[in-house]
Structure 1
Amino acid sequence: MADEGLRPIIVKRIKKSGGGHHGGTWKIAYADFVTAMMAFFLLMWLLGSTTKGNLQGIADYFATPLKVAMAGGSGSGDATSVIKGGGKDMTRIDGQQKQGDDATPTKKSNLKAAAAELERQEMERLKSLKERIEEAIDSNPSLRQYKNQLLLDITSEGLRIQIVDEKNRPMFALSKAELQPYTKIILHEIAKTLNDIPNRISLSGHTDATPYSSGEKSYSNWELSSDRANASRRELIAGGMAESKMLRVVGLSSAVLFDPTDPLNPINRRISIIVMNKKTEDSITKENRTAEVADEETAKETVEKGVNISGVVQPAPAAVPKPTSVPVAPKPTASATATAAAAAAAGK
């Protein structure tokens, strides 16, 4: 018992820290929260700066990653990656091909609408030229007196300017291709306006149906109409028209009469100047081109567009303009008809 009183008494004191029973674990939780928020905002920034096409590629990858990796597509490769390739063609080494929204999308042009607009603009130019020529005729005293012999109209070929004969005022010398002085004045005034537009010119000569005494075997209305057309061409060039604008010069004799009801009418003797539209010009310049067709269906379509079976492009047939109505005199007697025929032959 005496030994127990001598045993030392030990007192243990526990020091409590300032953190309480939680200690420092809250700091770890706060750090995890901040890290998660940084990752969230970084994700939002990446989604906001990624194009729609790349987003679709990412979505496809997470939906079917193996399919995208094997077949390629947006997001499956990167040109800046160490491993080159990607896109639809896995053999390419130039990097993936962008399939997203293009900043400069290609514009699909409507060819029919463009052709219609060009045709409309060309028609406006021809109408404007017609008005300028009419104003030049009205303002020029030397031309105003020949106004009845100058006929202007718009046809399927373009703007047509016709210089016609009158009974007592022919354009050429009798049965010759020699132009009268006033005819040269008319052609010179017309030539001044033709260079203002890019359209090219077709010129044709016409006669009445009065035959030469030698018939068609030697010099005939065909040669006469051709010579008169060429003489008119030379005067147009002398008046200032560019030589390159002339595309066609023909003599049509009496094949295309202005007054079919009276083949001997002096009005049938005329010079026709046509400022051609693009369609008519193409039908002349492309008449010697060939077209190759692969099958029967293509050949049928090609023929319908103006190409024959041999493959040679044929120009569209020129529409013969409807003649202006000409007052027809009462039917003469037999003696009067003979007298008129003799007078017409003398004034060819």
Structure 2
Amino acid sequence: MDKPIQPIIIKKVKKAAHAHHGGAWKIAYADFVTAMMAFFLLMWLISMTTQEQKIGLAEYFSPEALSPSTSGAGAVLMGTSLDKSGNKSSSPRDARVIGQEDGTRRATSGRPAAGLQAHLSAAASIRQALQNVPEITELSRNIVIEPTKEGLNISLMDEYGRAMFPENSVQPYDRTRLVLEALAPALRRLPGRLSITGHTAAARPGTVRAVEPWALTAGRALAVREILSGAGLPNDRFSSVAGRADSEPVFPDNPDLPANRRVTITLLNGEPPLPPGVRP
């Protein structure tokens, strides 16, 4: 008698799957690692940056260097004082860019109203002449115009990353030449003789100058005079051309800052009238 066939039973045990934990922690960890890399990169850059560069970066991002109005303060308007009173500035941040009203009041206190108005009109004419040349818009921070006791100063100043002359050269960049050629017609229409003075920054400790600073600044001042003369200014309009080396820094506490390298064109005040019967 055959035995009955019994069915084969296969028992399968299903394991319960673990609950899904999500990947949010991975994103958070990646953000943390990225932030740490950025932090250590920043620390490395700071350690490799000179004090001069740190001052320049702070000056560039300082809100005080920005004008809240659209009058043009901080560009080809009023700025750092370049006369002797301005040399008392303690730091770039203290003396970098000021508003038109404050700069005019500081540089022209005690000046007759007629003389002040003449300087303001001359500054407006020069600013307009520069604004008409779009090729030099990027140099607006390099051009500082300010009334002083001697007259109206127009300074072409170096800035971090943008110089007006090649290093150790008396011949300016083409962009600087464009600025001077744009200035010439406005200066020709204004009364008064011109004084041109070259300045440079002090050498950093431990460095040796490739060019003697007195010759360098005098040569740059002469080059500016030649460009202005070639652009139509008569020779009898020039009163003096001089180089001051690094003897008159804009920032005495930081004499090696790039802004101390500059050429200043001064539209001199007119000679005061002499009393009757007195001859020069």
Q: What is the TM-score of this pair, normalised by structure 1?
A: 0.44
Q: Does 1:158 align with 2:151?
A: yes
One-letter amino acid of the counterpart of residue 196, structure 1: R
**Relative to 1, partners in 2 of residues 1:278 and 1:210: Cα closer, same or farther, differing over 3 Å?**
same
Out of 186, 193, 196, the position equivalent to 1:193 is 186
In the TM superposition, what are the counterparts of 1:139-288 in structure 2 within 5 Å? 139-210=132-203, 213=208, 220-279=212-271
Q: How many residues align?
A: 163
Distance 2:164 2:248 in 1: 18
Say what the alpha-carbon RMSD is for the aligned residues.
2.6
- 1:119: Cα distance to partner? 5.7
In the TM superposition, what are the counterparts of 1:64-103 in structure 2 within 5 Å? none
Structure 1 runs (4+) deviating above 4 angstroms are none
Distance 1:191 1:137 in 2: 10
In the TM superposition, what are the counterparts of 1:302-341 in structure 2 within 5 Å? none
Q: Partner of 1:146: helix, strand, or coil?
A: helix
Distance 1:194 1:137 in 2: 12
Distance 1:139 1:131 in 2: 12
Q: Contact 2:200–2:213 (CA<8 Å) still a contact in 1?
A: yes
Q: Does 1:126 align with 2:119?
A: yes
Higher relative contact order (CA 8 A, sep 6+): 2
Q: What runs of 5+ residues in structure 1 fail to find an aligned partner?
A: 1-117, 283-288, 290-348
Q: Partner of 1:195: helix, strand, or coil?
A: helix
**Relative to 1, partners in 2 of residues 1:124 and 1:148: Cα closer, same or farther, differing over 3 Å?**
same
Distance 1:214 1:270 in 2: 17
Q: What is the TM-score of this pair, normalised by structure 2?
A: 0.54
C-alpha distance after superposition, 1:297-336 (max 9, x if no partner): xxxxxxxxxxxxxxxxxxxxxxxxxxxxxxxxxxxxxxxx
One-letter amino acid of the counterpart of residue 222, structure 2: N
Distance 2:245 2:114 in 1: 34
With 133-142 and 170-179 compared, the bigger mean Cα shift is at 133-142
- 1:279: Cα distance to partner? 5.0
Q: Contact 2:164–2:172 (CA<8 Å) still a contact in 1?
A: yes
Question: How much identity, in percent, do the aligned residues show?
Answer: 27
Q: What runs of 5+ residues in structure 2 fail to find an aligned partner?
A: 1-110, 275-279
With 206-215 and 220-229 compared, the bigger mean Cα shift is at 206-215
Give the corresponding residue for 1:34.
none
Q: Partner of 1:204: helix, strand, or coil?
A: strand
